[in-house]
Chain A
Amino acid sequence: MTDTGGSVDAVTGPWGRRVLIGVGNHDRGDDSIGPLIADAVQSRTDRVVSIDREGDLAVLPLLWEEGDDVLIVDAYRSSDAVGTVRMIDPDDLAAGGGLSTHGLSVAEAVQLAHRLNRMPNRLRVMGVAGQRFGHEAMSPELRAVFSSVVDAVLAELGLEEVSNDPASPRQRGSH
C-alpha cells in the first residue's frame, strides 16, 4: 500500500521528499512493526509518502527517487530490550547482510540500489527490537511502546510537531 502523500511542498523537507518505508510481515508478530508504523504515520500526516512494504524487497530501489529523504523502518532481533530503537548505518547493514533466495533483504536491496545508482539523497534505517517473529500477534511489550516508536519516526522525519498536533488522530485517541 502506498500513500502518495500530500502536495509536493507538503512532503518536501530539507533533505528532499520525505519517504517512509515500513518493512516487514503483518502476520509475523513483531516483524509487523514496520508496516504498522507506516500505516500509523500515514493516518496522522500527509507530509510523508508512507509505504507499507510487505514481502520481497527486491523492488525497494524503485520506491524512491534520487532527491528523496528515505527512512526505512524494520524490526530486528537481538538482545536489546523489546522496543529499543536504533538508527543503523545503511552501509553497515549492507556489510552484514546475508543472501536469501527468492527475496532480498533490506541489506541486499541497499546494495542493489548502490549498484543501480539509485540511491536517494539521504537513506536512513531505523531498527526496532522485537522478540516474536512467528505466526503470532505482536508482543505486548512492543505494543506498549508502539506510540513512542511512531513519535520517534516522526522526529526522525523532522515532524515532531505532528506528535503534538491536537488534530492528529493519535492525539484524538485513535491510534
Chain B
Amino acid sequence: MTHKNIDFRVPTLTRVEGEGALHLTVDDGTISDLRLEIYEPPRFFEAFLRGRTYREPVDITARICGICPVAYQMSAANALERISGVTVDGQLRELRRLLYAGEWIESHVLHIGFLHAPDFLAADSGIELAGRHPELIEQVLRLKQIGNTIMEVVGGRPIHPVNVRLGGFYRAPESAELDALVEPLAWAHEAAIELARWVAGFDFPELTVDHEFVSLRHPTEYPMLDGRVVSDRGLDIDPAEFDGVFVEEHVAHSTALHGRRRDGSIYLTGPLARWANNQDRLPPTVAALARELGVSGVVRNPFRSIIVRSLEVLIAVEQAQQIIADYVRPADPAIDVPPAEGVGWGASEAPRGVLFHRYDTDADGIITDARIIPPTAQNQPAIEDDLRTLVESFLAGHGDLDDHELQHRCEVAVRNHDPCISCAAHFLTVKVNE
C-alpha cells in the first residue's frame, strides 16, 4: 500500500460532450474524495414538454443532443405510440432502424477516432492523430459521412432529423435514394472491419469491473430500436417496469440524476452491456471478427469498449445494408396515431446506452408529465466506481504511473463510456405548484 497523498482536479474534462470535472483526493493512501462532477446547467426539457401535444416530443427532444437525436426521437415515439395502442412495423419500422443505424455509425466513429483513440496513442486530439494516421482518420471521416448521409436521406438532414413523426415519417424515401447508399455501405463494411482491427491492436490498461450490465434485448435483433430491459444477472422486464427496479437520485455534485438499482447497486448501460447481453444476436461476420480480436463473450475491461464500439459500427453497417436490400417503399409514410389518455414508457439504445422516456397524456393528447432518463445519467455511478477501482489498484501498488499519468488514466476511464453530459444534465425534476 502506498501511503501517499494525491489531490487533483480536472476542472474541464476534454473529449467528452458537455461540461464536467473530475476530483480526486487521496489522504495517506486512502481515497477521501472522488467525484465526476457534472456542472452543466440543466435545460429543463421535461418541464417544458408539459402542456405540449403528444405529437411534439419527437421533435422537441431531438434537440437535446446533436449526436444522438434519433435516440430521443425513437424513445419518445415508442412511449407515445404505446399510449395510443399503435405498433409501427413492417417497412416503417425498418426505416426507423435504418435511421438509427446511421446515428450509431456517425456517433461511434466520431468517438472512436476523435475522442477515444487519441488516449491509446499518446495524442492530444483526433486532429493530432490525423497527422500520424491520415489514412485511418480519413477512413473514420468517410464512415462518419456515410452515417450522416443515411440520416439525411431518411431523416431529412444529418443532424436533428425533421422527417420523423409518430406513426412513421412525413415522407418515405424512394428506393433509388436508398440504392445510392449500397456502394458506400459496401465500402463501409470493409472500412469498419479495418477500423476494428486497428483499435484492437491498441495497448489497453488492465481494469476489471463488476457492474451489472443492463441493456435492451430484442427477440431476433441486436438491440437498437426497442426491446425488453435485461441484465446479465437475470433482470428481464418491460420498460414500463423501470420504477419498480431502478431509482434516480440527486447528488450534490451533479446536475444530472444518478441511476441505481433500488437496492443501491450500480449498473452500466452502453456497448459493453449490449454486447454482454446479446452475444446470440450478433451477425455471423461480427461474431467471427470478435473471436479474431479476442472480445468474444462478455468484456469487463471498459478500456476495451472501443473494440466493442467498433464492432457495433459493423453491426450498424450490416443492418443498414440488409434493410436497403429488402426495402419496398411503403404506400403510406405513416400510420395514424390518435390521441389517448394514459402513461407510456419507451426505451431504445442510444449509442452510449439505454434511453428511457415516460409520458403522461390526457384524453386530448396533452402531455401532463414527462420523464427522460438518459444513459449518461444512469452510468455516472458506474463511471465513478471505475475510477475508484482504478485508483485503488494504483494505490495498492499495481501499475507504474506518476500522478500526472494517473490523472490522464482517470480521464480516459471517463471517456471509456462516451459520456454525453449535455444529455444528462437536462433532467432536474421541477415541481410546478399550481
Contact = CB atoms under 8 A, between A and B. Distances in A.
Given A54-B157, A116-B138, A59 B127 contact: no
A102 B66 contact: yes
A111 B110 contact: no
A103 interface: yes
Given A116-B134, A117-B134, A102 B110 contact: yes
Interface string A142-174: 000000000000000000000000000000000
A56 B145 contact: no
B141 A62 contact: yes
Interface string A107-127: 010011001111000000000
Given A101-B18, A102-B67, A116-B137, A58 B131 contact: no
B158 interface: yes
Contact of A62 (B106, B115, B142): B142
B141 A59 contact: yes
Nearest to B113: A58
A134 interface: no
B17 interface: yes
A58 B110 contact: yes
Interface in B126-155: 126-128, 130-131, 134, 137-138, 141-142, 144-145, 148
A101 B423 CA distance: 13
A6 interface: no
B141 A101 contact: no
A112 B66 contact: no
Given A55-B66, A102-B67, A116-B130, A61 B125 contact: no
B53 interface: no
Interface string A45-69: 0000000001110110110000000
A2 to B, nearest CB: 10
A99 interface: yes
Nearest to B143: A59
Nearest to B68: A102
Contacts of B15: 101
Contacts of B131: 115
A58 B134 contact: no
Nearest to B420: A102
B158 A56 contact: yes
Contact of B159 (A56, A108, A112, A115): A56
Contact of A58 (B14, B141, B157): B141
Contact of B127 (A56, A112, A117, A118): A112
A38 B66 CA distance: 22
Contacts of B110: 56, 58, 102
B414 to A, nearest CB: 13
A69 B137 CA distance: 24
Contacts of B130: 112, 115-116
B427 interface: no
Contacts of A112: 126-127, 130, 137
Contacts of A104: 114
B127 A101 contact: no
B92 interface: no
B157 A115 contact: no
A161 B141 CA distance: 37
Of listed B141, B142, B158, residue having the most chain A CB within 10 A: B141
A112 B145 CA distance: 15
B157 to A, nearest CB: 6
B12 to A, nearest CB: 10
A27 B69 CA distance: 15
B16 interface: yes
Contacts of A103: 66-67
B144 A111 contact: no
B66 A111 contact: no
Given A102-B110, A111-B127, A116-B137, A56 B14 contact: no
A54 B137 CA distance: 21
Contacts of B142: 62
A54 B155 CA distance: 14
Interface in B276-297: none
Please list the 8 inter-chain residue pairs (A to B) with the smallest Cβ-Cβ separation, ordered nearest first: A55-B159, A115-B130, A115-B131, A102-B67, A102-B17, A101-B17, A59-B145, A116-B134
26 contacts: A54-B157, A54-B159, A55-B148, A55-B158, A55-B160, A56-B66, A56-B144, A58-B144, A61-B141, A62-B142, A62-B145, A99-B125, A101-B115, A102-B67, A102-B107, A102-B110, A102-B420, A108-B127, A112-B126, A112-B130, A115-B127, A115-B128, A115-B130, A116-B130, A116-B134, A116-B137
Interface of B: 14-18, 66-67, 106-107, 110, 114-115, 125-128, 130-131, 134, 137-138, 141-142, 144-145, 148, 157-160, 420
Given A54-B159, A58-B110, 17 more contacts: A55-B66, A55-B158, A55-B159, A59-B144, A61-B138, A61-B141, A62-B145, A102-B66, A102-B107, A102-B110, A102-B420, A104-B114, A108-B127, A115-B128, A116-B130, A116-B141, A117-B134
